[in-house]
A and B are shown apart, each in its own frame.
Chain A
Amino acid sequence: MQAIDLTINGKKIAAEPGMTILQAARKGGIHIPTLCEHPAIPIAGACRVCLVEVENSPKLLTACSSPVAPGMVVHTHSPRVLAARKAVVELILIRHPLDCFSCSSNGKCELQDVAYELGIKASPFTDEGDTCRDYALEDANPFYVRDMNKCILCGRCIRACDSLARYHAIDFQNRGIRTMVHPPVGKDLEHSDCTFCGQCVQLCPVGALSEKASTGQGRPWELKSVKTTCSYCGVGCELNVQVNTRTGRIANVTTDYLSPTAVNEGRCCVKGRFAWQYVHSDDRLTRPLIKENGAFREAEWAEALSLVAGRMTAIKEDFGPDAIGFFSSARCTNEENYLLQRLAREVVGTNNVDHCAHL
């Protein structure tokens, strides 16, 4: 396909057909601030902070939604753009609580970043009574907290739920200044179609949606991301476990929507995202146990494995291979299940293979 040549801030960029100005700018290493845009979900053009100036276009255009055209000349930080962008952020901040100190989003907050970039400390238009809105904190469920006072109505959660989770559990409600994100009228989250998969939580650019279990578990800059596979089920979702480098404990679990290796393409379920506390459980088995005289004792892997191998061989010799059955789990990956049935058929010589879903 023929590249589309355009100029952004004086730099020539060869964009691919169908790209937006924002995508072309990113390709060329040019930063344009965004709030409502996320590559994993459809474009909304809602937040207006990505406005740019395009020569011969009388209106400013949102970079996230405007397609590139040959010969386009774009300015992402002209005086006109900066003035407009500043006004937009000043307006968002009119009613946004300045609560960064103990906000879970502090350090990864996209609103904070845009305000920082534009040098805005607070909205000059905030009057007494404007600062905080009066939404009650919604935290009835064990997984995440909704603080709609911090919501900037970017709609990313709604689009995440619609296009990634596909539950359509939440939408905008009301109009004007009373607009908010909520499950259908009259329902709370716990009685809605929400499955607590947490796609929305991860995509929220601010601290309006936050994982309960992560509270106090570490600041974003203290975390190290460890890529792993979910141990709960055979889907095998790729997860990024965020480990606090200071405490060595998990702070939260995220996914990578753009990971080329992830079968889940960034999606996951409530277990993978929120049910990681078992990792730090005192009851968790971390070493093999051998039962002797009715009681377990800890053992080394080598001892345990040779005990199992020895007993299997003995049973097979005494009673034949069909005296042994292999029982696997839907929680294992395909590869693991495949290997288990080869062990049963080829090494032991039995077709007695089954799995937990038959229970």
Chain B
Amino acid sequence: MGLYRSHVLICGGTGCVSSGSLEVLEALKKGLAEKGMDKEILVVSTGCHGMCEMGPIVVVYPEGTFYCRVTAADVPELIEEHLYKGRVVERLIYKGEGKASDVPHYTEIPFYKKQHRIALRNCGYINPDSIDEYIARDGYAALVKALTEMTPEAVIEEVKTSGLRGRGGGGFPTGLKWSFCARSAGDKKYVICNADEGDPGAFMDRSLLEGDPHAVVEGMLLGAYAMGANEGYIYCRAEYPLAIKRLKRTIEQATEYGLLGEHILGTDFSFELHIKEGAGAFVCGEETALMASIEGRRGMPRPRPPFPANKGLWGKPSNINNVETWANVPSIIRNGGEWYAAMGTEKSKGTKVFALTGKVNHTGLVEVPMGTTIREIVFEIGGGILNGKKFKAVQIGGPSGGCLTKDHLDIPISYESLSQVGAIMGSGGLVVMDEDNCMVDVAKFFLEFTQAESCGKCPPCREGTKKMLDILTRICAGKGKPEDLEALEYLGTMIKETSLCGLGQTAPNPVLTTLRYFRDEYEAHINEKRCPAGACTELTRFIIDADKCIGCTKCARVCPADAITGAVKQPHVIDQDKCVKCGACAEACPVKAIDRR
């Protein structure tokens, strides 16, 4: 690599590419070449910075100036002002809480300040297509250390010491799982990376694979060495084409560098890595279904035992870990288990990546130490609720998780604390809701997803989740019966108790937690035929306040259903049978005489 006075990092993650970062990249390269500055300034396409919603993201180093929503049209000014004259382009910089003139360094931005990036350490810093950049950031140092200085047992010990637990949702201690597979008899073993990421709204694994694919591969190499496996699979959903492209390139480069293949680094350790594209069924993320899918069978879970460590892929001992789990391993081996275990809570160590979405000011990927409170994530990193509304709930753990309330804001996040209150860590989805969200509707949304994704194998999940959805649907439509709540509780409890796999065992969680914490909302729907949040259209009424109405006729003119009648300068009336609840009248009324109830 040559010497450059400045580095311009342009995000090449899926989010920013879709908001136009490739055009910005082209414009920058062209602009710099035209000015003859391409020898002094290096342009690098990186992985996701986690702030996709503000993309395309451009960061200029060494200053660390963080620009957002940059378009190709902004590039000439960026080159002229910042790169040539050294003056920050104020209108493009990220506006945090501070004054714009503060020009905080990347890491001083509140969104990043509270974060602690281990899994995401290279995402947004390096060009994921370059193995050299990965190596320059200590990449593959852990592999060299393990192969030359450590026995396989020592590697497992180190992972055990770190306290790392599975980031795919279950939270099973990774080192312990590895020791089972290592102990299992057999000369053929597999390691598998679970990159199915089926939770709606989750994108941490995709960002990791797109932003730092070598870390995942290095993690798998370390695991394979520790457990005595010589073949591995990355099971990645086909909807992640960029991740798959980068992974293929990663495998090519690593093979070229002698880091994959026969006799790695001249040792007896050999490892072959394949990519398997999955058709994107949620249930294929469940480990036994995933292995069935790799084998070419329909992805359906089976009972355990036998566990994968004894009988996994093609009946051979196998170990399966999540993308983020694997990505943490190189840092653990490089820095030692104790270093990792120094972060987090007593039983949940290290950091966790969350996908923060919903009604917060800053959505995106955040990596925080375990033990961080929900309040810190929502209000400090996320910058609080959108449009100054009131926080109502946070749904943690995706469709398997639960809805927590303001009373839980100060819970330090850990596997234990979340499950105590009915939620789960899951893969790290964190959806924030405000007063406009109807909790019955939210529960219904998640159940719609799980019941459609149920593999159909076992009756509780297949029939039970559909029945729960039927009941929620009728509650939202104002046709709920008082005994419905009891039925939901009974079905939910029994589905959890009797389902075969994690999908069914957790699918009722969103319903059960909202029933527990927001029961009054359910009761309002059923007993008063009223949606307190005003979100369930079938329960919504638009009513004209006769005292306020000035008879301007605006509402009657915008109504698509001809539901409004009234003479000029006389109070108007809405025919509830005709109204389709579009809300156009309420918006059109100049005196706000129309109420939504």
Chain A residues within 8 Å of B, Cβ to Cβ: 43-48, 51, 60, 62, 65-67, 83-84, 87-88, 91-92, 94-95, 125, 127, 152-153, 155, 171-172, 174-179
Q: Are A92 and B452 in contact (CB under 8 A)?
A: no
Given A43-B303, A172-B455, 8 more A-B residue pairs with CB atoms under 8 Å apart are: A44-B302, A62-B303, A66-B305, A87-B460, A87-B494, A125-B467, A176-B452, A179-B455
Q: Is B500's beta carbon under 8 Å from chain A?
A: yes
**Count class of interface residues, chain B:** 20 to 34
B495 to chain A minimum Cβ distance, whole angstroms, is: 8
Q: Is B459's beta carbon under 8 Å from chain A?
A: yes
Query: Please, which residue of chain A has its CB at the minimum distance from the CB of B297?
Result: A171
Q: Is B497's beta carbon under 8 Å from chain A?
A: yes
Assuming the contacts A48-B500, A94-B463, A125-B491, asked whether A172 and B456 have C-beta atoms less than 8 A apart, the reply is yes
B476 to chain A minimum Cβ distance, whole angstroms, is: 16
Q: Are A175 and B498 in contact (CB under 8 A)?
A: no
| Complex CA–CA separation, A66 to B470 (angstroms) | 34
Q: Are B498 and A176 in contact (CB under 8 A)?
A: no
Query: Please, which residue of chain A has its CB at the minimum distance from the CB of B493?
Result: A87
| Complex CA–CA separation, A275 to B494 (angstroms) | 46
A220 to chain B minimum Cβ distance, whole angstroms, is: 25
Q: Are B462 and A60 in contact (CB under 8 A)?
A: no
| Complex CA–CA separation, A2 to B451 (angstroms) | 46
Q: Are B456 and A175 in contact (CB under 8 A)?
A: yes
Main SS at interface, chain B: helix
A-side contacts of B454, CB under 8 Å: 175-177, 179
Q: Are B463 and A92 in contact (CB under 8 A)?
A: yes
A-side contacts of B283, CB under 8 Å: 175
Q: Are A174 and B460 in contact (CB under 8 A)?
A: no
Contact of B458 among A43, A47, A84 (CB under 8 A): A47
Assuming the contacts A84-B498, A87-B498, A94-B467, asked whether A172 and B298 have C-beta atoms less than 8 A apart, the reply is yes
Q: Are A48 and B303 in contact (CB under 8 A)?
A: no
Main SS at interface, chain A: loop
Contact of B453 among A88, A155, A176 (CB under 8 A): A176
| Complex CA–CA separation, A172 to B456 (angstroms) | 8
B193 to chain A minimum Cβ distance, whole angstroms, is: 24
Residues facing A in B230-285 (CB within 8 A) are 281, 283
B237 to chain A minimum Cβ distance, whole angstroms, is: 16
Q: Are A153 and B491 in contact (CB under 8 A)?
A: no
Q: Are A177 and B464 in contact (CB under 8 A)?
A: no
Q: Closest 10 interchain pairs by CB?
A: A179-B456, A45-B303, A87-B494, A65-B303, A91-B463, A177-B466, A176-B454, A92-B459, A91-B459, A48-B498
A96 to chain B minimum Cβ distance, whole angstroms, is: 10
Q: What does the 1/0 interface line of B553-573 toward A look like (CB < 8 Å)? A: 000000000000000000000
Q: What does the 1/0 interface line of B474-493 toward A look like (CB < 8 Å)? A: 00000000000001001100
Q: Are B456 and A176 in contact (CB under 8 A)?
A: yes
| Complex CA–CA separation, A91 to B465 (angstroms) | 10
A-side contacts of B491, CB under 8 Å: 87, 125
A-side contacts of B500, CB under 8 Å: 45-46, 48, 62
Interface pairs (11), CB distance under 8 Å: A47-B459, A48-B458, A48-B500, A60-B497, A153-B462, A155-B457, A171-B298, A172-B300, A172-B455, A175-B456, A178-B456
B-side contacts of A45, CB under 8 Å: 302-303, 458, 500
A-side contacts of B462, CB under 8 Å: 153, 176-177, 179
